[in-house]
Chains A and B, each alone.
Chain A
């Protein structure tokens, strides 16, 4: 009746997961209780859960990403402290538990922290920058988000019911086959990633179509802000490689459930085929994450230097170059697995070549600052920290791209330090920078500057204190994923690294305080003008927070840096453009289909993990039925009356008038 599920699945004998779960359940119950007590359910349901507004969905993605980032960081703290104490000693985490932690850390950080955050920014920013009112498929966007949330839910359920994979963040066979991983850990991984992967694929399709087919009048390709280009490139990679992930995980599931032989070590199975397939997805995945991060930095460097982006066209070319070459380097993840010198050389060269595109970008950012009036606000600090960190991470990457050198440090702590160096320094710094940069656009007030700067400095130094020792340990021969260490000489470095994590934790606390302080002082930090940073692209033409229809009338773009052009013209002529003729706006109606589909997908995923076949069938049928019912609806859009549009836009114009007078006064004194 319940497949493999029984009471023994719940780890009553292990205090760490048990207590964590209890705390988690209490927090969730507390939040739910508060929402019920305050009567917020109708608001949450109508304005958020069923929302198809790209800004709301973006904010929910970012919220999910931040929560999971904290969850993954907790895993990191456990790993660093375990290794610091487990020198010729067992430490406080058993091997089985430790293996689950590093697997969960990687899975969570890539799939459920970095991806939701990156996609959240793509959602929030891209349509605003393109000057349109929503993405190409708003309801599908909501389905995408909820499927991602469903995957995150399954990963968290594994904490309490059953176990998580012990195979690392990519379940390499034959270890991940039933013969060596008989438990449900790998199945949790498979279905959590599979369900969220479908959501990601739909996001990719959505944003390719949005950028290519939904731009406001005059927004030709070479007038698009850099972030839109990186959204496009990232989405193209998603569409090209996420199906590979789906196919590969499906093959592994067939092996595990039905005893097939795609990747087994016997009966003609081929584990190396898994390595090739999974990295054909996995390496481009890195660029899916980092390209939008580059986009965020591009916006910030040009805004805070008060200059157009240097070498815009070369930046576009470099982005598309990386987009294509990212799919030609996957084999460098297993140089040591005997492909031979010719193959290794080819992939070593392609890997080195991809650094050229990134190099072009680094120089462009530096030259953007050159001769500009650079403002050292929080987003700019993160961006400068990024250049320093990412250049070093990139150089260690080029070192690893040389096959003979790679043979020496393969699977060592040097590798661990390298990829954290590029992903934390590249992606996570970008996300914090972007959070500070676009927060006013989302909520109408800026984040507190002092706490933001404190968060940056603690995170930046904490990062280097954590990972410099790991580089050294890697060169000394320490391999990754060790539950305990038997070389006493390594302990000082491991302790230093653990201290570094503590410093990062102070940075995290600063971020939380920053958020609380900003909410309390929101009236002082209010962004009245809608353009708090003297921005250059169209999102700053809207009031903060942006109305649900984004633009009262569709902007007409007449050059690069659309909003900068409008702004300078207004300053020169000392007045705003004439008031447009307001017309009713058509907007898509909200829909619960995303929420229901994901709820049934979660049930299906859970049932598949525990092999409760009847429930899996029921859940899948219900999810499909949800779509059929959705397809039956008669009303797709509603009209926002012209008076309402006019009211919102007149308030915006009044704020713009004030901004104009202020800017004109500044211009006069300058």
Chain B
């Protein structure tokens, strides 16, 4: 299948040209004529669209999994069994640094894809490396937090609440760790194989994944830490 590097951008340009003030006066059927968009008129979509679309569906399912752990946290927030509650867990200073590192990593990840779009191997690698290092700082700080809590006897075996807390935060940490391993293999692929279509597709997926983990973290930061610190 043929591959055009930036169909989404091309589509945006076209949309702005046809409906510059976004008034919705654009011919509603115009989009159906896009070649290879998979709307049913012109046959199967292009590979890039199929891969991206499938990955979006995966992300949605992954977010459903997180939502179960969020639900467990909400249900068991008060189930401390006489042990420590949420307010005794939160160290806002450390969580602040963690959050800063992760949000910054999303920015560098975006920059790496900007570099990919102009096919600059050097800058893609530099920004991917920066993303990975920031991710490492995040995971490292989280591990420090867990070790610190454990030293105070705050472990998941203590209560239903702590199981839910470590389950939710740990699941996110595990995701970031696995994403970091994916990042390393992507850097190796970019280095040795260059910007082949399938590798660019994987970079798109990796970017989506990294940003999704950031979004989930914003949920954790708000619901677990911010609401915990103020409770």
Residues of chain A whose beta carbon lies under 8 Å from any beta carbon of chain B: 132, 136-137, 201, 204-206, 208-209, 212-221, 223, 239-244, 246-248, 251, 254-255, 258-262, 264, 266-270, 273, 277, 554, 586, 624, 628, 631-632, 636
- What's the Cα separation between A137 and B45 when bound, in Å? 13
| With A243-B65, A262-B72 as contacts: A214 and B160 at CB distance below 8 Å | no
**Judging by beta carbons under 8 Å apart, are B54 and A261 in contact?**
no
| Residues of chain A lying within 8 A (CB to CB) of residue B54 | 136-137, 205-206, 208-209
Interchain CB contact (< 8 A) of B68 among A201, A248, A636: A248
On whether A262 and B65 interact (CB within 8 A), knowing A136-B50, A273-B72, the answer reads no
In the complex, the chain B residue whose C-beta lies closest to that of A627 is B185
Name the one of A221, A240, A246, A636 contacting B40, with C-beta atoms under 8 angstroms.
A221
Contacts of B64 in A (CB 8 A): 239-241, 243-244
Known: A205-B61, A258-B156, A268-B160. A220 touches B41 (CB 8 A): yes
Segment of B76-84, B104-112, B116-124 in the binding face: B76-84
**Interface residue ranges of B44-73 to A (CB < 8 Å):** 44-45, 49-50, 53-54, 57-58, 60-62, 64-65, 68-69, 71-72
Whether A240 lies near B61 (C-beta < 8 A) is: yes
Query: A residues within 8 A CB of B68?
Result: 243-244, 247-248, 251, 277
Q: How far is the CB of A196 from chain B (nearest CB, A)?
A: 16
B191 within 8 A of A: no
Roughly how many angstroms separate A442 CA and B53 CA in the complex, as a whole number? 30
A contact residues around B185 at 8 Å (CB): 628, 631
Interchain CB contact under 8 A, A260 and B157: yes
- C-alpha spacing A632/B41, complex, angstroms: 34
> How far apart are the CA atoms of A95 and B50 in the complex, in Å?
52
The reply to whether B49 and A213 contact each other, CB–CB distance below 8 Å, is yes
CB < 8 Å neighbour of A218 from B41, B157, B167:
B41
Distance from B179 Cβ to chain A, minimum over Cβ atoms (Å): 13
B198 within 8 A of A: yes
State the Cβ distance, A173 to closest chain B Cβ, in Å.
12
User: How many Cβ-Cβ contacts under 8 Å join chain A to chain B?
Assistant: 137
Give 13 A-B pairs besides A209-B54, A261-B160, A268-B163 with Cβ atoms closer than 8 angstroms.
A137-B50, A212-B38, A214-B50, A217-B43, A218-B41, A239-B57, A242-B61, A247-B68, A251-B163, A261-B163, A262-B164, A268-B159, A273-B72
Which residue of chain A has the shortest Cβ distance to B32 in the bound complex?
A220
What residues of A have a CB within 8 angstroms of the CB of B49 in the complex? 213
CB pairs A–B below 8 angstroms (19 shown): A136-B50, A205-B54, A205-B57, A209-B53, A214-B45, A215-B38, A218-B41, A219-B40, A220-B39, A239-B61, A240-B61, A247-B69, A251-B68, A251-B72, A262-B163, A262-B167, A267-B158, A273-B71, A277-B68
Contact check, B76 vs A273: say whether CB atoms are below 8 A apart.
yes
Selected contact of B50 from candidates A204, A209, A243, A261, CB within 8 Å:
A209
* B contact residues around A269 at 8 Å (CB): 79, 160, 163
Interface residues of B in 152-173 (CB under 8 A from A): 156-164, 166-167
Question: Closest CB of chain B to A496's CB: distance in Å?
Answer: 44
User: Who on chain A is nearest to B80 by CB?
Assistant: A268
Q: Given the known A-B contacts A244-B64, A251-B167, A273-B75, are A214 and B44 also in contact in the complex, defined by CB atoms under 8 Å?
A: yes
Number of interface residues of B (CB under 8 A): 45
B60, B156, B181: the one within 8 Å of A254 (CB): B156
A213 & B167 in contact (Cβ 8 Å cutoff):
no
In whole angstroms, how far apart are the Cα atoms of A268 and B41 in the complex? Answer: 56
Say if the beta carbon of B87 comes within 8 Å of chain A: no
Tell whether B222 is near chain A: CB-to-CB under 8 Å.
no
Name the residue in B81, B160, B167 with the highest tally of chain A Cβ atoms < 10 Å from its Cβ: B160
A262 to B181, CA, bound (A): 29
Does chain A have a CB within 8 A of B33? no
Chain A residues, CB < 8 A from B61:
201, 204-205, 239-240, 242-243
Bound together, the chains give a CA A208 to CA B56 distance in angstroms of 11
A256 → B minimal CB distance (Å):
12
Residues of B within 8 A of A204 (CB): 57, 61
Cα-based distance from A262 to B156 in the complex (angstroms): 10
Find chain B residues with CB under 8 A from A137 CB: 50, 54
Beyond A247-B68, A270-B79, whether A631 also contacts B189 by CB under 8 A is yes
C-alpha gap A205/B158 in the complex (Å): 38
Q: Give every chain B residue within 8 A of A255 (Cβ-Cβ).
A: 163
Whether the pair B72, A218 counts as a contact (CB closer than 8 A) is: no
User: Contact string, B178-198, partner A, CB cutoff 8 A, digits 1/0?
Assistant: 000100010001000000001
**Chain A residues, CB < 8 A from B80:** 268
A268 touches B79 (CB 8 A): yes
For residue A179, give the distance in angstroms from its CB to the closest CB of chain B: 13
Measured CB to CB, the closest approach of chain B to A266, in angstroms, equals 8
Taken residue by residue from 116 to 160, chain B's Cβ proximity to chain A (1 for < 8 Å, 0 otherwise) reads as 000000000000000000000000000000000000000011111
Give chain B interface residues in 72-105, CB to chain A under 8 Å.
72, 75-76, 79-81
In contact, B50 and A268 (Cβ under 8 angstroms): no
On whether the beta carbons of B53 and A213 are closer than 8 Å, the reply is: yes
Contact between A631 and B156, CB atoms less than 8 A apart: no
User: Top 5 A-B pairs ranked by shortest CB distance?
Assistant: A268-B160, A268-B79, A247-B68, A213-B38, A243-B65
Find chain B residues with CB under 8 A from A217 CB.
41-43
Pairwise interchain contact A260-B202, C-beta atoms closer than 8 A: no
Set of chain B residues within 8 Å of A254, measured between Cβ atoms: 156, 163, 167
A240–B62 alpha-carbon span in the complex (Å): 9
A258: chain B residues within 8 A (beta carbon): 156-157
Contacts of B157 in A (CB 8 A): 258-261
Nearest A-chain residue to B79, judged by Cβ: A268
Supposing A205-B58, A205-B61, A244-B65 touch, asked if A262 and B50 sit within 8 A by C-beta, the answer is no
Are B65 and A247 within 8 A (Cβ)?
yes
B53, B62, B163: most-surrounded residue (chain A CB, <10 A): B163
> Is the Cβ of A216 less than 8 Å from the Cβ of B160?
no
Assembled-state Cα–Cα distance A132/B40 (Å): 12
User: What residue of chain A has the Cβ atom nearest to residue B63's Cβ?
Assistant: A243
Flag if A261 contacts B159 (CB, 8 Å).
yes
- What residues on B are CB-neighbors of A260 within 8 Å? 156-157, 163, 166-167
Are A246 and B65 neighbours in the complex by a CB distance under 8 Å? yes
**Is A218 a contact partner of B40 (Cβ separation < 8 A)?**
yes
